[in-house]
C-alpha cells in the first residue's frame, strides 16, 4: 500500500539516510531542538529592542568616560591652570585734601589736643583759644591757610587803667604804642622789635607778646629733589611761600635765597634762584599704594593735571624711557590710579582648545576632566542610593506582604509616615546643616547618599508587598510550608527572587531620576561641594546669565551628559520591562 499522506505546509520532509531506513527521534535525542533558559530568553528579547540596545551603548560609554577616562586624562580633578596676562592694578591714590596739614615752628610743639581746640575755635569764629593754661591766637593768611600764635599776656587794660600781668609796672612806651594802635584800629603793634597782640578778655583788653607756633594749610608740598625736602617742609619756607601764593606774587625770599613762582590751574611750581624746579604746591594729595615705590613730582603733576581736567586716562613716560598708560577711576572722593600690569593669572573661562577640549571653568580647571570625575560621583550616587532603596524596600515590603495582619498594618503606616515627609525641604535642611558644620566634601557625598536612600525606599516596599501578597498563595509556597522551610528562607529564597525582575526594571528606571535629583541638589549648591565635582555642581556655574550666554562649554556638555545618561537608563528600563514581561509590550 502507498501512503498518500501529504506533508503539512510548514513541515519539512523526513531525511532518509542511506540504506532506505528512517531513523526515528526520541525525546532524549540530542538532535532535538534545545529549549532556551529564561535568562537567555530575556536577553534575546532585550537585544531585539533597538532603543534598549542604544540605551545600553550610551550607559557603557558613560561608564567608560567616567571611570576609565580619568585614568588616561593628563590633568587632575583640582588642577588649576595659570597663564601670563595683564591686569589693571591700583598703582597710586589721589584725593583732594580737606584736612588741615600742620607745620610746627622750630622749637615749638602743637599736638593733637591743641589742634582739636584750634578747630573748635575755628568753627566758632573765635580767634583765641586756650589749652593747658596757654593762650593761642590764629591769623588767616589766606583762604584755608592759618598762622597760629602763642600769646604771653604782659598787661591788662580796663577803663583806661593799665594793670601789669608780668613785671611790676607797665612801661610808658608800651602804653603809648598801645593807644596808637587802638586809635588806628589795629589789633597788633611792634615795640623795640617785639610783636604785641591786643585781644579782648571779657570787658578788659589784654596786651600780649606773641610768637609763631604752627602753620595750618590744605596745600601739599612735593620736593623735586629729596635733598631739598628738609628746607621745603620748614616753617619759614612755607610761611614765606604761602604769603607769596596768597598775593599771587612771582617771587619771594627766605633768608638769602630767592625763589620764583609759576602758577597753573589749582597748583603752583616754585623755582630756585638757578631757575630749576624746586617744589610743587597743590591741594591734591598723591601717594603710592606700595610705600617702597617713589613717585616723582613730574608724575604727581601729571596725575593732578589729569584730575583737574576730568580725564579718565593719561599716558606718562618715566625716567627710564618706559611709556605707560594709566587709568583714573573715581570712587566717591578718592581717585584710584590704575596701571596695566603683567602678572600670572588663573585662566578662567578659557575657550576650548587643543590642550583643553572643552575649555577651562571659572576656577581655571579643565572642564573635560571635571566632567569625568563628576560622572563618577553622579553614577556612584545613583547606584548606591538605588541599592539602599531596594534593600530597605525588600526588607520592609517582604516582611509586610508575607505576614500580613497587624504586621502589615504597622509597616504600611511606617511607609505612610515616610511618604508624608516633604522630600526637598528635608534635603535643603540637611544641606544647610552640613554647610554650617563644614562637613568635608567626601563625607558629604556619603551622607547625601544615605539621606536620599532613607527618603526614597517607600515605593520599592509597596511594590514588593503587593507582589508577595499574590505570590504567597501560590502552590510552590504551599509546598515550602509543607516541607517545613523556615520563614526567612521562604521570603528571601522563594518569594523575593520572583519579584526581582520587576525590581530590576524599577531600579533601572529609577536610576535616571536619582541622577536628576543629585544634579538638582548640586545646581542649588546643596550637593557635592568644591573642589569635588558632579554634573549638577558643574552646571551651577551657569546660574549667572552672563556665563550662560557667553560660555556655552560651561553647561551644555554637563547638561548633555545628564540628558544622555537619564535617557540611557530609561531606554534600558523599558527594554528590561518588555523582555521580562512580553505581554506588556505595546
Residue that the C-alpha cell 573635560 belongs to: 368
Query: Who's near 428: CB < 8 A, 6+ residues apart?
Result: 524, 526
Q: Under DSSP, is residue 330 helix (H, G, I), strand (E, B) or coil?
A: strand
The domain locations on the chain are 48-71+357-584, 96-269, 283-346
* Structural contact between residues 212 and 235, judged by C-beta atoms closer than 8 angstroms: yes
Check residues 65 and 39 and name the one with the higher pLDDT.
65
pTM: 0.57
Count of all residues that appear for the chain in the document = 586
Tally DSSP H helices, then E strands, for the chain.
Answer: 19, 18
| Per-residue model confidence (pLDDT) at position 105 | 92
- pLDDT tens, position by position, 294-340: 888 888 988 988 988 889 999 998 888 888 889 999 988 899 999 88
Q: Nearest 5 degrees, angle CA 103-CA 104-CA 110?
A: 120
* Domain 48-71+357-584 -> CATH class: mainly alpha
pLDDT band at residue 20 using 50, 70 and 90 as cut-offs? low
pLDDT, tens only, 175-191: 888 888 888 888 888 88
pLDDT tens by residue, 52-88: 899 899 999 999 999 998 888 899 888 898 877 777 8
Please state, in angstroms and rounded to a whole number, the distance separating the CA atoms of residues 160 and 109.
36
- pLDDT above 70 for 26: no
**Does residue 38 have a pLDDT over 90?**
no
Amino acid at each position: 500500500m502507498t501512503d498518500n499522506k501529504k506533508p503539512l505546509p510548514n513541515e519539512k520532509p523526513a531525511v532518509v539516510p542511506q540504506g532506505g531506513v528512517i531513523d526515528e527521534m526520541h525525546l532524549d535525542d540530542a538532535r532535538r531542538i534545545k529549549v532556551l533558559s529564561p535568562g537567555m530568553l530575556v536577553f534575546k528579547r532585550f537585544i531585539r529592542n533597538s532603543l534598549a540596545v542604544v540605551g545600553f551603548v550610551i550607559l557603557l560609554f558613560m561608564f567608560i568616560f567616567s571611570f576609565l577616562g580619568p585614568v588616561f586624562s593628563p590633568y587632575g580633578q583640582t588642577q588649576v591652570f595659570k597663564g601670563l596676562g595683564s591686569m589693571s592694578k591700583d598703582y597710586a591714590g589721589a584725593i583732594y585734601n580737606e584736612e588741615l596739614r600742620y607745620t610746627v615752628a622750630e622749637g615749638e610743639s602743637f599736638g593733637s589736643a591743641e589742634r582739636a581746640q584750634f578747630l573748635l575755635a575755628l568753627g566758632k569764629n573765635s580767634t583765641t583759644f586756650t589749652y593747658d593754661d596757654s593762650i593761642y591766637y590764629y591769623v588767616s593768611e589766606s583762604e584755608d591757610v592759618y598762622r597760629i600764635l602763642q600769646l604771653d599776656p604782659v598787661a591788662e587794660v580796663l577803663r583806661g587803667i593799665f594793670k601789669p600781668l608780668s613785671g611790676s609796672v607797665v612801661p610808658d612806651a608800651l602804653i603809648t604804642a598801645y593807644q596808637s594802635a587802638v586809635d588806628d584800629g589795629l589789633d597788633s603793634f611792634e615795640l623795640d622789635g617785639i610783636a604785641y597782640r591786643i585781644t579782648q578778655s571779657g570787658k578788659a583788653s589784654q596786651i600780649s607778646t606773641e610768637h609763631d607756633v604752627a602753620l595750618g594749610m590744605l596745600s601739599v608740598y612735593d620736593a623735586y629733589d629729596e635733598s631739598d625736602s628738609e628746607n621745603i617742609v620748614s616753617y619759614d619756607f612755607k610761611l614765606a611761600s604761602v604769603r607769596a601764593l596768597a598775593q599771587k606774587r612771582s617771587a619771594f625770599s627766605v633768608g638769602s635765597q630767592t625763589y620764583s613762582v609759576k602758577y597753573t590751574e589749582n597748583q603752583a611750581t616754585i623755582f630756585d634762584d638757578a631757575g630749576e624746579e624746586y617744589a610743587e604746591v597743590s591741594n591734591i594729595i598723591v601717594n603710592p599704594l606700595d610705600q617702597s615705590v617713589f613717585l616723582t613730582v613730574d608724575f604727581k603733576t601729571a596725575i593732578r593735571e589729569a584730575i583737574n581736567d576730568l580725564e579718565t586716562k593719561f599716558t606718562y613716560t618715566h625716567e627710564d624711557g618706559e611709556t605707560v598708560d594709566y587709568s583714573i577711576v573715581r570712587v566717591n572722593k578718592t581717585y584710584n590710579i590704575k596701571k596695566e600690569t603683567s602678572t600670572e593669572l588663573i585662566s578662567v573661562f578659557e575657550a576650548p582648545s587643543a590642550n583643553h577640549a572643552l575649555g577651562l571653568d571659572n576656577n581655571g580647571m579643565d572642564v573635560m576632566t571635571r566632567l569625568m570625575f563628576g560622572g563618577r560621583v553622579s553614577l556612584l550616587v545613583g547606584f548606591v542610593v538605588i541599592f539602599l532603596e531596594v534593600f530597605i524596600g525588600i526588607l520592609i515590603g517582604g516582611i509586610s506582604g508575607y505576614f500580613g495582619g497587624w504586621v502589615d498594618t504597622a509597616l504600611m503606616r511606617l511607609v505612610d509616615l515616610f511618604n508624608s515627609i516633604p522630600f526637598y525641604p528635608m534635603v535643603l535642611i540637611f544641606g544647610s546643616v552640613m554647610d554650617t558644620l563644614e562637613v568635608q566634601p567626601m563625607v558629604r557625598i556619603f551622607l547625601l547618599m544615605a539621606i536620599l536612600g532613607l527618603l526614597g525606599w517607600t515605593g520599592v516596599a509597596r511594590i514588593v508587598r503587593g507582589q508577595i501578597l499574590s505570590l504567597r498563595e501560590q502552590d510552590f509556597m504551599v509546598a515550602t510550608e509543607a516541607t517545613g522551610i523556615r520563614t526567612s528562607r521562604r521570603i528571601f529564597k522563594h518569594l523575593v527572587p520572583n519579584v526581582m525582575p520587576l525590581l530590576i526594571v524599577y531600579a533601572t528606571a529609577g536610576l535616571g531620576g536619582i541622577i536628576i535629583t543629585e544634579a538638582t541638589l548640586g545646581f542649588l549648591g546643596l550637593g557635592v561641594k568644591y573642589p569635588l565635582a558632579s554634573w549638577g555642581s558643574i552646571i551651577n556655574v551657569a546660574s549667572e546669565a552672563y556665563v550662560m550666554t557667553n560660555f556655552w562649554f560651561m553647561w551644555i556638555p554637563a547638561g548633555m551628559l545628564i540628558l544622555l545618561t537619564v535617557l540611557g537608563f530609561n531606554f534600558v528600563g523599558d527594554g528590561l520591562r518588555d523582555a521580562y514581561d512580553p505581554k506588556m509590550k505595546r
